[in-house]
């Protein structure tokens, strides 16, 4: 077996073992740690499969932000107290296991039994890059060929944040999400929270900007920006903004809003909804992405901050 193949088998074995441990372990905190580690390692697999855009998203969302979201959920479950009476019975668990195994087997079969060469539109997407002037085929697909899907995904994010906010108690409506964090202002955490966010913001904007021609994009950049904002919140350097503020809500709708405006403009002045005039395709796409990265950063940050708990007064 060649070295490369041995390495791939080893990587797959480690990720698989970690996944099994994450499911089998008892405590939720340990499972969350395992999940984050799993996400970060799967990013390695994506790089090996030459899907760097997916690797960036996996590292940002699956590893960092998704894990912290689960951590918050685990903490709330602990606070809510043991609910042994609500634990799922054996029948439910066995059914869930069987369904999961069947789904995994179906996916594995679909991947292994693909006709060779597999049917794909990738060469066409790469060949039509001249339509927008951007060299990254993933960005072309996301922002030009399937722009409708991307716009609707941003609307889904908006619906998610509304859903989270709807969990607020009546007197905290429009208030600050989450508790007020505090840390020793001369301590290590505050030091890191002052030093890292400027670097992180530069990296986030870089990853977004380089997405035009190299792997990257607004979503990954927005996730990095959100994590830096949350870092400042966790160190107590800034408080979560009250969710009733107009400017915050404007930022949340700016991304899908601008997308919609451009799409309707395409309908009025051009050929179809979301049709870009070829000469202005690149500036339009970049403009939409600027609005999108702000919306994504704000939405992801607020999703992790949780439902409002403290009223504004």
Partner 1 sequence: MTEFLTAAVGFILAMLALGLVSILRGPGDTDRMMAAQLIGTGGIAALLLLGTVTGVPAAVDVALTLALLATFASIAFVKKGLSSLEADGTGSTEDQ
Partner 2 sequence: MSLVRDIITIAAVSAGAFFFLAGTVGLLRFPDTLTRLHALTKADNLGLGLVVLGLLPQATSLRDGLKLISIWLLGLLAGATVSQLIARTARQGEPAK
The contact mask relative to partner 1 for 195-234 (x = CB under 8 A, - = no) is -x--xx--x---x--x---xxx---x--xx--xx-xx-xx
Give residues 25-64 in contact with partner 1 (rule: CB under 8 A): 25, 27, 29-30, 33-34, 36-37, 40-41, 43-44, 47-48, 50, 52, 55-56, 59-60, 63-64
**Cross-strand partners of 310:** 176
222 binds, among partner 1, partner 2, none (CB under 5 to 8 A by kind): none
- Per CB under 8 A, the segment of 69-77, 101-109, 183-191, 261-269 that binds partner 2 is 183-191
Nearer to partner 1, 29 or 250 (CB): 29
Beta carbon of residue 266, minimum distance to partner 2 (angstroms, whole number): 37
Q: What is the 3-state secondary structure (H, E, C) of the chain?
A: CCHHHHHHHHHHHHHHHHHHHHHHCCCHHHHHHHHHHHHHHHHHHHHHCCCHHHHHHHHHHHHHHHHHHHHHHHHHHHHHCCCHHHCCCHHHHHHHHHHHHHHHHHHHHHHHCCCCCCCCCHHHHHHHHHHCCCCCHHHHHHHHHCHHHHHHHHHHHHHHHHHHHCCCCHHHCCCEECCCCCCCCCCHHHHHHHHHHHHHHHHHHHHHHHHHCCCCCHHHHHHHHHHHHHHHHHCCCCCCCCCCCHHHHHHHHHHHHHHHHHHHHHHHHCCCCCCCCHHHHHHHHHHHHHHHHHHHHHHHHHHHHCCEEECCC
29 binds, among partner 2, partner 1, none (CB under 5 to 8 A by kind): partner 1
238 binds, among partner 1, partner 2, none (CB under 5 to 8 A by kind): none
Nearer to partner 2, 160 or 183 (CB): 183
Residue bearing tokens 């990296």: 203
User: Which member of 195, 261, 264, 271 binds partner 2 (CB under 8 A)?
Assistant: 195
- Per CB under 8 A, the segment of 110-118, 178-186, 249-257, 275-283 that binds partner 1 is 178-186
Nearer to partner 1, 172 or 304 (CB): 304
State how far Cα 52 lies from the chain centre: 15
Beta carbon of residue 195, minimum distance to partner 2 (angstroms, whole number): 7
98 binds, among partner 1, partner 2, none (CB under 5 to 8 A by kind): none
**Residue 233: both structure tokens together:** 């919140």
* 196 part of the interface to partner 2, by CB under 8 A: yes
Give residues 77-136 in contact with partner 2 (rule: CB under 8 A): none
* 188 part of the interface to partner 2, by CB under 8 A: yes
Q: Given the rule CB under 8 A, which residues bind partner 2?
A: 188-189, 191-192, 195-196, 199
């Amino acid at each position: 077996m060649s070295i490369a193949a041995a390495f791939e088998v080893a990587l797959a074995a480690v990720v698989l073992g970690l996944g099994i441990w994450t499911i089998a372990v008892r405590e939720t905190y340990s499972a969350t740690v395992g999940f984050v580690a799993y996400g970060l390692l799967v990013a390695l697999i994506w790089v090996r499969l030459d899907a760097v855009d997916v690797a960036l998203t996996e590292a940002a969302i699956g590893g960092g932000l998704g894990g912290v979201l689960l951590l918050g959920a685990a903490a709330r479950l602990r606070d809510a107290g043991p609910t042994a009476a609500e634990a799922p019975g054996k029948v439910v668990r066995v059914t869930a296991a069987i369904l999961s195994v069947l789904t995994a087997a179906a996916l594995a079969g679909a991947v292994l039994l693909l006709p060779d060469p597999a049917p794909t539109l990738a060469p066409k997407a790469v060949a039509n890059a001249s339509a927008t002037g951007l060299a990254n085929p993933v960005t072309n697909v996301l922002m030009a060929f399937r722009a409708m899907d991307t716009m609707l995904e941003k609307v889904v994010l908006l619906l998610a944040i509304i859903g989270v906010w709807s969990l607020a108690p009546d007197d905290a409506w429009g208030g600050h999400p989450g508790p007020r964090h505090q840390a020793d202002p001369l301590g290590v955490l505050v030091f890191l929270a002052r030093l890292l966010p400027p670097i992180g913001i530069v990296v986030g904007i870089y990853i977004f900007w380089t997405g035009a021609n190299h792997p990257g994009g607004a979503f990954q950049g927005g996730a990095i920006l959100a994590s830096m904002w949350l870092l400042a919140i966790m160190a107590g350097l800034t408080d979560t903004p009250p969710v009733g503020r107009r400017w915050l809500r404007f930022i949340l709708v700016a991304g899908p809003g601008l997308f919609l405006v451009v799409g309707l403009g395409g309908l009025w002045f051009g050929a179809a909804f979301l049709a870009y005039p070829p000469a202005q395709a690149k500036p339009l796409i970049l403009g939409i992405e600027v609005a999108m990265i702000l919306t994504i950063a704000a939405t992801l940050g607020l999703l992790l901050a949780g439902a409002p708990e403290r009223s504004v007064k």
